[in-house]
Structure 1
Amino acid sequence: MEFSHINEQGRAKMVDVTEKDSTFREAIAEGTVVVNPDTMALIKSGGIKKGDVLAVAQVAGIMAAKKTSDNIPMCHPLMLTGVDINFELTETEIHIHAAVKCKGNTGVEMEALSAVSTAALTIYDMCKAVQRDIEIQNIRLSYKSGGKSGVYER
């Protein structure tokens, strides 16, 4: 039986992945938070009043990856086997990279994207008292592997 995303009553439904093969799956997402040099100096020195911005953003991103199905209605709950979030800093940019892994029958793209999005929002939240015009840019999937569709690389 073929399942579609819309049931007979025209309502959305979760895709049935029962028959899909369980394979190793990985996704990497990225995004950028743009701040001014003064804000970056505070982040680097630990001068933001709410605490260690990057440590909190890292934990928030990991938590978001684990809870993606609670926030995105049609996402399947997954048993993640790894979530790694790291940051690359320039004078005015925080580049966020999130790698998410699992062995299962559906991919982890949404979990990686959720991790980056939440890490970026956490940085914004922690720094908004010192800078109101922070920008979050270019959140996107950069890599995925596993499953029937194989490898995607931006």
Structure 2
Amino acid sequence: MAVKEVLTHINQEGRAKMVDVSEKSQTKREAIASGKIYMKKETLERIKEGTMKKGDVLSVAQVGGIMGAKKTSDFIPMCHPIMISGCDISFKLDHENNKIDIIATAKTIGQTGIEMEALTAVSVAALTIYDMCKAIDREMVISDIKLLEKSGGKSGDFIAE
């Protein structure tokens, strides 16, 4: 017997709707997302040395990523505006592969998940790095943005394979 899937973001007329979370209980929720930005060796070296004309690339990307997390519901159409209780971003410079690994952790206590905020934080941090370095390297590639872990809520925990 086939299981009928319930489409939670579609109304009775078949159009998009925002899910009603008013009956859900508040739980502690956390999400961790990651991404990468590949660049020329010289670009990575200048980021490390702090010699980019626009300033400290990783400090600005950190702030940009956090700001992006806070604004997630402004540009993801069905995303609820939520109170973020914490957001942090870390960067690992990988000189062997000429890339920066980005990891964002976002936390909340609420009725809906925080995965989109963690994913947005990674995305905006990567875009900020691109913006700050594009004058010397327009061939940078942002890739592999994904959810690594999430905890809390009705659906329980998730850890990527």
TM-score bracket for this pair, using the shorter chain length: over 0.9
Aligned pairs (5 A) from 1:29-48: 29-48=33-52
CA distance in 2, matches of 1:142, 1:66: 20
| Corresponding pairs, count | 153
Partner of 2:141: 135
Partner of 2:3: none
Which letter does structure 2 place at the counterpart of 1:74?
M
Partner of 1:123: 129
Identity fraction in percent: 60
Partner of 1:102: 108
TM (normalized to structure 2)?
0.92
The unaligned stretches of length 5 or more in structure 1 are none
The unaligned stretches of length 5 or more in structure 2 are 1-5
TM (normalized to structure 1)?
0.96
Which letter does structure 1 place at the counterpart of 2:150?
K
Contact kept, 8 Å, 1:32 with 1:96, in 2: the verdict is yes
What is the DSSP-based 3-state SS (H/G/I as helix, E as strand, rest coil) of the residue aligned with 1:5? coil
Structure 1: which 4+ aligned runs deviate by more than 4 Å? Answer: none
CA RMSD, 1 decimal: 1.2
Structure 1 residues 20 and 33, CA gap change in structure 2 (3 angstroms) = same
CA distance in 2, matches of 1:4, 1:32: 32
Q: Please state how far the C-alpha of 1:47 moved relative to its aligned partner.
A: 1.2
Q: Please state how far the C-alpha of 1:93 moved relative to its aligned partner.
A: 1.1
Which letter does structure 2 place at the counterpart of 1:130?
I
